[in-house]
């Protein structure tokens, strides 16, 4: 666990910070009433990579054709074959599979967007951004040019104050944000908060 000292944040102020800086893209898991009537949970919110400004490599790669098929079609076919074989191996009937899927078809889409999911249990899913380029929630609330350029992975040293992985745990791999596809810039939301406000928002997200 991190030995970083705890900041005396005021979680009571955090819902307003979340609404101002996060709620445009991320529905608050604590406030499902914020979800528009008739929308499914979780909401399917897609943000164009040009707006969010994060590393575009994954979007660009997914847009490439694999032979004569789109990336989505190729993944859909591969996962469909895998699922069929798994059902045969485990003797799962077509009726049981339909029940387990609960109406969710095996459909893969490729877009020029990144999904903005609800932040339920976000504390448990570091590192952050779609490419895992930011080790903690606190670092994500810093301007891109102030975020860590590198940090270790392959360890379980959790920082409960900044919420995420410690930067220099005894891991097996060092993540370098200067490598193509690993860029940690973009997502400049909440980056102008004061340090106290950052910790207030982090405390709120910790309990989400």
As a whole number, mean pLDDT of residues 50-74 equals 91
pLDDT tens for 17-38 read 998 999 888 876 555 555 554 5
DSSP 150: E
Q: Which residue has the tokens 């590192």?
A: 127
- Does 87 have pLDDT greater than 50? yes
As a whole number, mean pLDDT of residues 110-131 equals 89
The token duo for 160 is 């409960």
Q: pTM here? A: 0.79
What distance in Å separates the CA atoms of residue 165 and residue 158, rounded to the nearest whole number? 5
What distance in Å separates the CA atoms of residue 20 and residue 190, rounded to the nearest whole number? 9
- Does 110 have pLDDT greater than 60? yes
pLDDT at 138: 98
User: How do the residues of the chain divide into helix, strand and coil, expressed in percent and rounded to 5?
Assistant: 35, 10, 55
**CB-CB contact of 55 with 181 (8 Å):** yes
- Does 5 have pLDDT greater than 50? no
Rg (CA), the chain: 20
Angstrom distances, CA of residue 191 to CA of 67, 127, 159: 42, 18, 20
Q: Which residue has the tokens 């900041």?
A: 7
């Amino acid at each position: 666990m991190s030995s970083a000292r705890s900041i005396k944040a005021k979680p009571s102020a955090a819902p307003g910070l979340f609404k101002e800086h996060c709620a445009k893209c991320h529905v608050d898991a604590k406030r499902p009433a914020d979800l528009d009537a008739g929308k499914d949970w979780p909401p399917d919110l897609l943000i164009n990579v040009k707006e969010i400004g994060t590393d575009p490599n994954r979007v660009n790669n997914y847009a490439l054709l694999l032979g004569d098929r789109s990336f989505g079609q190729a993944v859909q076919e591969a996962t469909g074959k895998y699922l069929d074989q798994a059902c045969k191996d485990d003797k799962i009937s077509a009726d049981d599979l339909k029940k387990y899927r609960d109406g969710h078809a095996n459909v893969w889409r490729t877009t020029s967007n990144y999904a903005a999911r609800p932040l339920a249990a976000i504390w448990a899913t570091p590192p952050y951004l779609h490419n895992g380029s930011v080790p903690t929630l606190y670092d994500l609330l810093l301007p891109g040019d102030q975020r860590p350029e590198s940090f270790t992975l392959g360890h379980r040293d959790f920082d409960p104050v900044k919420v995420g992985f410690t930067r220099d745990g005894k891991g097996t791999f060092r993540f370098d944000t200067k490598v193509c596809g690993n860029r940690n810039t973009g997502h400049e939301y909440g980056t102008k908060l004061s340090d106290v406000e950052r910790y207030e928002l982090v405390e709120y997200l910790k309990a989400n």
